RNA sequence: GCCGGGGUGGUGGAACUGGCAGACACGAUGGACUCAAAAUCCAUUGCGCUCACGCGCGUGCGGGUUCGAAUCCCGCCCCCGGCACCA
């Protein structure tokens, strides 16, 4: 029986370990994937960008998934005739290198480069179509020279500045963190509870770009909805008004921000954040400092956002009063942790009738509640209220605005405040400036010299890079490694030549990764971070692929950098990544892979055992690219042969046998299926539906195998299958293309197959005959029959007639040749 | 609580604008080959009733629109992700 399929003398069995390493070398020798340097190259350009890896060890499953998807896209674009830029590099600075060095005694640099080489070797083994000539590492002085250069441009424009402020301090990593790196009050890296410290630190003025970051998000062509939502939430724009109250006892003006100026007449008290600079002075004046002081001191010791305290409704009266500018009322002032110094102005007007937090505070402290927005259900007794009232209603107890309905009340009150000079429309953002300095060793040094006479002085461009000392003592404790180095920081002031010291902080690694995609366009460029013409030629990126964990941090920062570079006239666009794709996570048995759970599956041993092609296909076929993959469910034990490996084996024999059979003189069913498959796989690839595309290739494989006896069309089907397979299984397809089909050049530089639309439809189709919408019969009909013929066939159907029974057919819906629905009278 | 995404067989998932639900796989069961196993090949596989032809039910739940709904509308439930005293 098997002889039907096999020609024992000819058939070669599929053996990944025999074919894969061979092609790695051939492709590299042939320089297959190098992007053109020629500005006049007529081909369309496509920049396929993958989020560059952090070299923490060998590649893990997450890398496999992400880079497999990115590689399919790059290879597909090559075959479609594009000039493709598909680079690779390493995000090589960062804490883990330093921590590993502390633990094992190796230098951060050695640890980092060893890991990079291991990952590079694994990428090669995977057959990734990278342009290795453009490779970069952010920890190379050649690279961080330009990170520093960019910092100085930001510094010149006032976008990099130093200030003292309360900051997030990770006691474990011994460094400050950006707001974005604090998750639920804990360090994003190590999970330690973050402490609050008052320190002088460097910031990027990203808040200047808040509105543009928000507005331009709407112009992005194709980003996952959840990522856009996260960015919008993070930026956190709210519209409202600023209103200035006056402290009755001192006459000083205190401005507050509110989104509900229409509730100004309902203010019954006023609250300061614990950290507000006026608190101590006002408490001393009001004679309440002894009561207030414990709150203030506790806040200094706990984390920046003390959630527990904020959640409580504790608070202390200050003994002073605020005067409401809209009605001259005098209300008591409090200090309470539920008001945050970080948002708005650090002081609020309290309207207990219409704000739940104010309501709870009022009840706790026996303060009056005054309803100023009457709900549609009628008057409300403030004493009977159990929660704050919703927003809808009509203004009452509000002087000139009584009777004003809620949809227009905010705008009217705001306009009135401006006209009266008592307040103004205002917008508030949740976004804070980006704290970029770190008290650690393994990062790009901040290129600033502190001079007792000249202040903060930029290191001149021609003295960049400010290199890291190789002999640092980077162990934890005490001062940071650069600060404690005996000689490194001592330097002459570039301005006056006097004795000065370098800034001893390094930059957050997110600074490095905010511009690496520009550098890929001009590797080795000596006169700037990139050559503007190269960036204009390649960018914006055609497709950006990477993990959703960067939804806020990396993607927001990169967008910010791009806008600044745009304002500097260095890039012609404002968004670097119009199209973003997030791969799903690879989990195991319902849980994230982790050392502590002991459920980590190492990919490279599986690649050695079953092949890189099987590894890629297993992931890409498992489901939509953006969905999580549970490795236990789709692959099970490492010894279990992957289903896709068996399929590749069948492809291997099918293409061999098909080649033997030659082509039919007339296009037959197999040829038609081949054309249809080209159409469908092309469409699926354009929409990144890899799992569906692969299933279509499986169908074609099955069809080739089951029709081999019938002859005809097999050769073109086998050849086309080989090409369509190329983006997904680069090794297997190459082996078939060159060794079995005898083509001279690589399948990966072959032209993507086209299809003849007249051959993508069948001669006959299955027509469905329904009665009242239920399927009652199916009939094979000619694909080109008209409505009348379709109806005749439906009427002739015995099954349909039986289903109609003795009822009258009142209406016939005909969608020839697909469907006829006989509708009976009711 | 607010925002975003989702809920389809035993499992992963298909079903382009409303038109044959379950493609393609995995798993399972039976069979062929084998001393045996692996590999390979063949068959069956949504649930229920039926010897069978068939019939009924079926895309989280309840309604609605339509000749016809996984798909559109209304109201719920549940799961995942993000944000959260943000004034």
ipTM of this model? 0.94
pLDDT bucket at A119, cuts 50 / 70 / 90:
very high
- Residue in the block written with tokens 């009909």: A781
Alpha carbons A73 and A62: distance in angstroms, whole number = 17
Q: Which residues pair with A386 in a beta bridge?
A: none
Which has the closest alpha carbon to A610: A648, A635, A642, A651?
A642
Nearest nucleotide, CA A360 to C1'? B85
Q: How long is the CA A155 to C1' B11 vector, in angstroms?
A: 56
Beta carbons within 10 angstroms of residue A631's beta carbon = 22
Q: Is the CB of A749 under 7 A from strand B?
A: no
**CA triplet A299, A206, A568: central angle to 5 degrees?**
155
Find out whether A234 and A594 touch, Cβ atoms under 8 Å: no
Residue nearest B40 (alpha carbon to C1'): A2
DSSP per-residue letters across A51-110: PPPP-SSS--HHHHHHHHHHHHHHHHHHHTT-EEE---EE---SHHHHHHHHHH---HHH
Give the closest nucleotide to A821 (alpha carbon vs C1'): B67
- pLDDT tens-place string over residues A250-303: 999 999 999 999 999 999 999 999 989 999 999 999 999 999 999 888 877 665
Tens digits of residue pLDDT in A315-358: 999 999 999 999 999 999 999 989 988 889 999 999 999 998 99
Distance A510 CA to B82 C1' (A): 21
Mean pLDDT of the residues in chain A: 90
CA separation for the pair A413, A205 (Å, rounded): 32
A814 CA from B33 C1′ (Å): 52
Nucleotide in closest CA–C1' contact with A552:
B82
Measured distance CA(A477)–CA(A16) in Å, rounded: 51
Answer whether residue A155 shows pLDDT above 80. Answer: yes
Q: Are A299 and A306 in contact (CB under 8 A)?
A: yes
Q: Is the CB of A425 under 7 A from strand B?
A: no
* Residue A160 backbone zone (phi > 0: left; psi -120 to 50: alpha; other: beta): beta
Asked if strand B comes closer than 7 Å to A587 Cβ, the answer is no
A650 touches strand B (CB under 7 A): yes
Residues A372, A395: contact at Cβ < 8 Å? yes
Most confident of A5-9, A220-224, A335-339, A720-724: A720-724
Q: Is the pLDDT of residue A502 over 90?
A: yes
What is the pLDDT averaged over residues A585-608? Answer: 88
Q: Is A352's CB less than 7 Å from nucleic acid strand B?
A: no
> In this model, does residue A82 exceed pLDDT 90?
yes
The per-residue pLDDT for A809 is 85
Mind listing the pLDDT tens digit for each residue in A461-482? 999 999 999 988 877 777 889 9
Distance A590 CA to B71 C1' (A): 29
Q: Which of residues 618-647 of A touch strand B (CB under 7 A)?
A: 621-624, 627-630, 633-634, 636, 640-641, 643, 646-647
SS3 assignment, position A618: helix
A803: pLDDT strictly greater than 90: no
Strand B nucleotides in reach of protein CB atoms, 7 A cut-off: 3-5, 11-15, 19-21, 23-27, 39-42, 55-56, 67-69, 81-87
Residue A4 has pLDDT above 60, yes or no: no
Please, where are the H alpha helices in A135-252? 141-156, 210-217, 225-235
Please list the residues that pair with A233 across neighbouring strands.
none
* A796: its two tokens: 């002739």
Nucleotide nearest to A696 (CA to C1'): B24
Structure tokens at A446: 């901040």
- Banded model confidence at residue A375, pLDDT cuts 50, 70, 90: confident
Which nucleotide lies closest to A624 by the C1' atom and the CA atom? B13
User: Does at least one atom of strand B sit less than 7 Å from the CB of A416?
Assistant: no
CA-to-C1' distance for A276 and B8, Å? 56
Q: Which two tokens stand for residue A406?
A: 């809620």
Find tokens 């006169």 and name the residue. A527
Strands A269-272 and A347-350, bridge-based pairing = antiparallel
Which residue places its CA closest to the C1' of nucleotide B19? Answer: A819
Q: Which of residues 511-570 of A touch strand B (CB under 7 A)?
A: 548, 552
Measure, in angstroms, how far nucleotide B73 C1' is from residue A825 CA: 26
DSSP string, A686-702: HTT-HHHHHHHHHHHHH
Whether the CB of A823 is less than 7 Å away from nucleic strand B comes out as yes
- A495 Cβ within 7 A of any nucleic strand B atom: no
Spatial CA neighbour of A60 closest among A550, A554, A595: A595
Asked if A698 CB < 7 A from strand B, the reply is yes
Q: State percent of chain A over pLDDT 70.
A: 96
Say how far A3 CA is from B34 C1', in Å. 18
Question: Which of A763, A766, A771, A821 is closest to A791 using CA atoms?
Answer: A821
Asked if A454 CB < 7 A from strand B, the reply is no
Q: DSSP character for A209?
A: G
Q: Is the pLDDT of residue A659 over 80?
A: no
Q: Which residue is nearest to nucleotide B82 (CA to C1')?
A: A230
The three-state secondary structure class of A812 is strand
Contact A538, A36 (CB under 8 A): no
Q: Report the nucleotide nearest the CA of residue A238, measured to C1'.
A: B86
Name the closest residue (CA) to the C1' of nucleotide B2: A233
A172-205 pLDDT, tens digit each: 888 888 777 777 777 777 777 788 788 899 999 9
Q: How far is the CA of A788 from the C1' of B67 (A)?
A: 18
Angstrom distance, A633 CA to B10 C1': 12
pTM: 0.92
Nucleotide nearest to A802 (CA to C1'): B54
**Distance from residue A170 (CA) to nucleotide B83 (C1'), in Å?**
22
Q: How far apart are CA A439 and CA A481, in angstroms?
A: 8
Half-sphere exposure of A643 (CA within 13 A, CB side): 12
Residue A266 Cβ under 7 A from any strand B atom: no
Q: Enter the tokens of residue A174.
A: 């011994």
CB A691 within 8 A of CB A622: yes
Between the CA of A734 and the C1' of B40, what is the distance in angstroms? 25
A57 touches strand B (CB under 7 A): no
């Amino acid at each position: 029986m098997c002889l039907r399929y096999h020609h024992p003398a000819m058939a070669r069995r599929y053996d990944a370990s025999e074919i894969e390493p061979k092609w790695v070398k051939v492709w590299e020798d042939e320089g297959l994937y190098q992007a053109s340097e020629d500005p006049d190259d007529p081909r369309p350009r496509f920049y396929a960008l993958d989020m560059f890896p952090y070299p923490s060890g060998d590649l893990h499953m997450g890398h496999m998934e992400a880079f497999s998807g990115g590689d399919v896209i790059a290879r597909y674009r090559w075959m479609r005739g594009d000039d493709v830029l598909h680079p690779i590099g390493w995000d090589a600075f960062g804490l883990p290198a330093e921590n590993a060095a502390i633990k094992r005694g190796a230098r951060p640099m050695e640890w980092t480069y060893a890991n990079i080489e291991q990952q590079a070797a694994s990428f090669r083994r995977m057959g990734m179509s990278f342009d290795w000539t453009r490779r970069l590492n952010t920890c190379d002085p050649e690279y961080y020279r330009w990170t520093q250069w960019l910092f100085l441009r930001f510094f010149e424009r006032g976008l990099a500045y130093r200030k003292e402020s309360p900051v997030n301090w990770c006691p474990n990593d011994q460094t400050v963190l950006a707001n974005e790196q604090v998750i639920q009050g804990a360090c994003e890296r190590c999970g330690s509870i973050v402490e609050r410290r008052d320190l002088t630190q460097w910031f990027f003025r990203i808040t200047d770009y808040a509105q543009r970051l928000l507005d331009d998000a709407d112009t992005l062509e194709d980003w996952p909805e959840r990522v856009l939502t996260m960015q919008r939430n993070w930026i956190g724009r709210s519209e409202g008004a600023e209103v200035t109250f006056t402290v009755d006892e001192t006459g000083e003006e205190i401005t507050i921000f509110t989104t509900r100026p229409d509730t100004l007449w309902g203010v019954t008290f006023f609250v300061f954040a614990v950290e507000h600079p006026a608190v101590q002075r006002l408490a001393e004046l009001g004679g309440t400092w002894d009561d207030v002081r414990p709150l203030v001191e506790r806040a200094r010791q706990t984390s920046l956002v003390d959630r527990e305290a904020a959640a409580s409704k504790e608070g202390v009266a200050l003994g002073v009063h605020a005067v409401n500018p809209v009605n001259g009322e005098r209300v008591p002032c409090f200090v309470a942790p539920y008001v945050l110094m970080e948002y708005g102005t650090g002081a609020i007007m309290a309207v207990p009738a219409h704000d739940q937090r104010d309501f709870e505070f009022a009840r706790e402290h026996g303060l009056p509640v005054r309803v100023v927005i009457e709900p549609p259900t009628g008057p409300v007794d403030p004493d009977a209220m159990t929660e704050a009232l919703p927003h809808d209603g009509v203004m009452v107890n509000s002087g000139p605005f009584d009777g004003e309905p809620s949809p227009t009340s905010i705008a009217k009150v705001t306009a009135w405040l401006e006209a009266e000079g008592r307040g103004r429309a205002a917008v508030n953002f949740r976004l804070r400036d980006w704290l970029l300095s770190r008290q650690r060793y393994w990062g790009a040094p901040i290129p600033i010299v502190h001079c007792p006479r000249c202040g903060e002085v930029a290191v001149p461009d021609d003295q960049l890079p400010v290199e890291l000392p190789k002999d640092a003592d980077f162990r934890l404790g005490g001062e940071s490694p650069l600060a404690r180095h005996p000689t490194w920081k001592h330097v002459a002031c570039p301005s006056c030549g006097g004795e000065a010291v370098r800034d001893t902080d390094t930059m957050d690694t997110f600074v490095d990764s905010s511009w690496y995609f520009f550098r890929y366009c001009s590797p080795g460029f000596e006169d700037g971070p990139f050559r503007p013409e190269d960036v204009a030629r390649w960018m914006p990126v055609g497709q950006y692929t990477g993990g959703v964990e960067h939804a806020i941090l990396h993607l927001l920062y990169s967008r910010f950098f791009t806008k600044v570079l745009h304002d500097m006239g260095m890039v012609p666009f404002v968004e670097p990544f119009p199209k973003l794709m997030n791969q799903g996570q690879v989990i195991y048995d319902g849980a994230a892979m982790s050392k502590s759970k002991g459920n980590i599956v190492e990919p490279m041993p599986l690649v050695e055992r079953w092949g890189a092609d099987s590894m890629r296909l297993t992931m890409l076929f498992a489901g939509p690219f953006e969905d999580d993959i549970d490795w236990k469910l789709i692959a099970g034990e490492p010894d279990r042969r992957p289903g896709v490996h068996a399929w590749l084996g069948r492809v291997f024999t099918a293409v061999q046998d098909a080649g033997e059979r030659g082509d039919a003189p007339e296009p037959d069913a197999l040829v038609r299926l081949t054309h249809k498959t080209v159409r469908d796989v092309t469409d699926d690839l354009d929409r990144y539906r890899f799992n569906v595309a692969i299933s279509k290739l499986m169908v074609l494989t099955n069809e080739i195998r089951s029709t081999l006896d019938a002859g005809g069309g097999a050769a073109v089907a086998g050849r086309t299958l080989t090409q369509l397979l190329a983006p997904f299984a680069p090794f297997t397809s190459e082996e078939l293309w060159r060794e079995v089909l005898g083509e001279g050049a690589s399948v990966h530089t072959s032209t993507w197959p086209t299809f003849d639309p007249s051959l993508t439809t069948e001669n006959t189709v299955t027509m469905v005959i329904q009665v009242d919408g239920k399927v009652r019969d199916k009939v094979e009909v000619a694909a080109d029959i008209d409505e009348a013929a379709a109806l005749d066939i439906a009427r002739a159907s015995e099954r349909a007639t039986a289903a109609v029974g003795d009822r009258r057919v009142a209406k016939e819906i005909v969608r020839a040749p697909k469907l006829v629905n006989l509708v009976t009278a009711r």
